[in-house]
Chain A
Amino acid sequence: MSAAEVTVIEDIRPLIAFVAPLIGVIGIAWAGEKRKNLRETFTFLVATIQASVVLSMVPILLSGSIIEFQIWQMFTHVPLLLRVDGFGLLFACVASLLWIATSVYAIGYMRGLHEHAQTRFYSFFAISLSATIGVAFSANLLTIYFFYEMLSVSTFPLVTHMQDKDARTGGRTYLGYLLFTSLCLLLPALSWCYVWLDGGTVTMDFLADTGKVGAFSQTTQMVLLALFTFGFAKAGIMPLHSWLPGAMVAPTPVSALLHAVAVVKVGVFCVIRVYSDIFGVQVLQELDGEDWMIGIACATILISSLIALSQDNLKRRLAFSTIGQLGYVVLGATLATEQGVGGSVLHIAMHACGKITLFFCAGAIFVASGKKYVSELRGLGRKMPITMGAFMIGSLSVIGLPPLGGFISKWYLALGALDRDMIWVVVVLLVSSLLNVFYLLPVAVTAFFRDPEDDQDTGMKEAPMACVVPLAITAIGCFVLFFMAEPILTLVGLSK
């Protein structure tokens, strides 16, 4: 993220990571419903290929270079350019590694529930991941916009998978919010930057054009900042968050990977890009109205946590929790200090791992018992110890207790707030952690320590292995990430 002199390597690997899932779709569609195992093999294979290609780029990045690949020239000055820098690579790693876990989990979930149209499901899932990687590796604002829209459209069939009335409502909210914001807020903001900066010769490159918006007047900068923050509505900043609870009508693997990791993280990823690579820390700190954005992020954190308290539907509770956690990430970016941005970056990884575990568990519970509501979970911990244990770990990580990943990122966020002498932000962080405890812990506590409603043994046990193994792995991941903070910050280039 620092604009210091770096060697640029021309390499096709980012394009491979982007295109592999698209080619995989052909295999998935070809295999179809009749050759289920082959189809799932394709998904798994493509996910593995993508992850290994992404991981193979880590050493290059660690050696201090970045990778670029130009796909084609969009406008006179603007190329569709892929670039792998530390931040993008981190996000790509998170998304593609968790996709492997999800592709195993989805087998257990979808087959366990005898879901229909699984070929369509896996095909669009692959397309979504392709778009996610596209966003992660975008080098300028228009490229990112490209893949952002691709992601919005390709997730629609996943959200409306059930094809019933609820799916229609959810799908309408989902697309309504996402397309309205991207077409009516983002597009004008983009166009404004391209037209009025330096006589229309700017590519809005994340590396070369950082801070150029500083040439605008304070008011314009503020308007642009607001348009970008709300325009990337996938970040779920209030009041444009309602699409996320609406999207919970989707099957749980979608909620887990897309609406806790890929889609929502694409939103905050874009916001961080805009804050730290378009505006830049310098310009932001000099911007007067920037405190407003900090305020809005804090409000989002607190309000969503309060709403989460009142949700009995487990997935909806998790969705509101996600909105709050996304607020953390945006908050870190708005703080515009090195520690704050570091906290944001870390939180993308930490929260991804924690929240996907929680969603996996919610899905496993649904597969094994058909239960969706927190109040129904009494005594379930005795029958599904691994699942509920993993849920406990995920909860603790999201709450932010050591030795789990979630602690580290919150720690950095607090440091970032202290750098700006904003004690009240630290207070907000503490209060919201407390609220996290209130809405997450009761779930696991109810499951383990309350007696079941009836003592009859309903013959219920753990979900299929394909569900349990991935959620156990991601739960362990929460521990591992606690020790990964330094390497991650080194990769992103924020650790000195």
Chain B
Amino acid sequence: MMENAIAWILIFPLFGSVACALLGMGNKKICYPIAVLSMAGSLWGGIETLRQVIASEVHTVSYIFGGWTLDKYPRGVGIEFHADILGILITLVVLGVGFIVAIYSKLPVQDETPNKEPLFYTLFLLQITGLAGICLTGDAFNLYVLIEVAALTGYGLIAMGSNRAAAATFNYVILGTIGASLYLLGVGYIYIKTGTLNMVGIQDVIVANGLADSSTMQVAFVLVGIGILIKMAFFPFHAWLPNAYCNAPTVTSSLLAPLVTKVMIYVMIRMVLSVFGVEFSFESTMWVDVMPWLVVVAIICAAVMALAQREIKRMLAYLIVAEVGYMVGGVWIYNYYGLIGSIFHVISDACMTLCLFLGAGLILRKAKTTHFDGLRGLFSKMPLTMTGFFIGGFSIIGLPPTCGFFSKWYLITGGMVSQRWEYMVVLMFSTMVMVVLFFRLIERIHLAVSESGENLGHGHGDLGLAKEQTRFDEGPLSMLIPLLLAATVVLVVGIYNQDIVNLIEIFLSEFNLPKGEGH
């Protein structure tokens, strides 16, 4: 059982989803425990695999499905699960977020999508299967399949919301399909040129045959790259994201917002480092020159658009677009520290986005709105919820000791070592925007001042609200505890960043990345 831990990661949610679909027809109530249990089992598999990966000498666990072997050259076609440190770390993020959201999901799913619980949890678990699979697979085509698994279930999960959600999903379907198709096209080119779909195999062939200057591979790189950029909602390909996430049901947005974009960043890092290789990606293409500037544009635009929003979930959606810019930038400033920052930011951004979306869900439930105008007095009404929410906010701003500070620190260090000042300046700029965004929220929650600046109430902390609106009234425990758990994770990941970074450094040590002079 132990040696198959990596397979259990997927088996639990996969069969859990089947169980939800079959058993849920008879008894809807059984779906929630099934989802939580399969997530717990899957999380156990993830932790066990991490232990195995760290224990193994090459820091990799390889698991081959269907009895084929890797002995041939080129490696050929077959499904291999290839968990190295990067892969398993991101998998754990996926499983952890999935677990917390699964606990959280009990009441919102009942209320927002009544009578659809079996469907919802089936898709929910399949979504996790897809996302975790993306992080574990060692095969470029299999990756495409799993991206589609995650995408298709995602469409379903989002469309379960309001009518608007269905419209937003349509947008998402079109852009998502274009992205996936481009990626598939790229994989096709790779297969023609190298004769293998195995990621390690592709890299072997590129090195052995000196394919760095091959125009076929160059085209493949561009296709794969753009496909992934669309999927991760990199500005200007972000149009699908805000509508989809803020019209989706609470649980859907809490699950997808922290994970989907981040997993696609993982795919980009995987493609750049492991599949095409450092030399090919950074030396033989123009991306190093162009991407940081695109990142600058992306972050500025996303931050400005976030400023214009008057609704928490929409604002958060644009923040995600800006954060995607951070991470893409961290990769393309081409530098050891930038990559540490990027990978660490994938982890920390997932934690803090989760925290914020769970908080937004609770606010929506209690205040009936997430519009800025309905926030007054929330702090005295639900102090614990707001504390959790703001820990997420402080992390996005980058205040120590939250994890957001440390990822930002590594990204800035990376920008400084590779002397990409434009990237550093834009990081500072967006940090300031986030300060404005979150302290504007705090102001609205804390003060008794109307939009136009008039005093409300009679002074002395009178918020000008009816009595029942300021009574102490936290959300249900099944939602509050996951939020506080997420907030704790934000702090713990920050405080123990050194241990995570050590793991990332083990992963990066096999690549030949510039560290700056004297480092």
Contacts and interface: CB of A to CB of B under 8 A. Distances in A.
Interface residues of A, number: 40
Contacts of A209: none
Given A157-B446, A171-B443, A73 B498 contact: yes
Given A117-B461, A175-B435, A183-B435, A165 B428 contact: no
Interface stretch (A10-18, A185-193, A369-377): A185-193
B399 interface: yes
B459 A183 contact: no
B498 A160 contact: no
A122 interface: no
B455 interface: yes
B447 A164 contact: yes
B432 interface: yes
Interface in A69-92: 72-76
A175 B518 contact: no
Nearest to B505: A76
Q: Which of A180, A194, A200 has the most CB of B within 10 A?
A: A200
A450 to B, nearest CB: 32
Given A160-B446, A188-B412, A195-B417, A165 B455 contact: yes
B373 to A, nearest CB: 16
B475 interface: no
Contacts of A75: 409, 497-498, 501
A240 to B, nearest CB: 15
A191 B413 contact: yes
A179 interface: yes
Given A116-B461, A199-B519, A153 B399 contact: yes
B72 interface: no
A74 B410 CA distance: 12
Interface in B424-463: 424, 428, 431-432, 435, 439, 442-443, 446-449, 453-455, 459-463
B516 interface: yes
Contacts of A473: none
B495 interface: yes
A480 to B, nearest CB: 38
A168 B435 contact: no
A146 B398 contact: no
A306 B454 CA distance: 33
Given A153-B394, A183-B431, A200-B519, A76 B498 contact: yes
A262 to B, nearest CB: 19
B188 interface: no
A162 interface: yes
Given A146-B401, A195-B413, A164 B428 contact: no
B448 A191 contact: no
A191 B400 contact: no
Contact of B439 (A117, A164, A175, A192): A175
- Return the 9 tightest CB-CB contacts between A and B, nearest first: A199-B518, A116-B461, A116-B460, A184-B428, A146-B400, A163-B447, A164-B455, A191-B412, A117-B461
Interface of B: 394, 397-401, 406, 409, 412-413, 416-417, 424, 428, 431-432, 435, 439, 442-443, 446-449, 453-455, 459-463, 495, 497-498, 501, 516-519
8 contacts: A116-B461, A162-B461, A164-B447, A164-B455, A165-B453, A172-B439, A179-B432, A183-B398
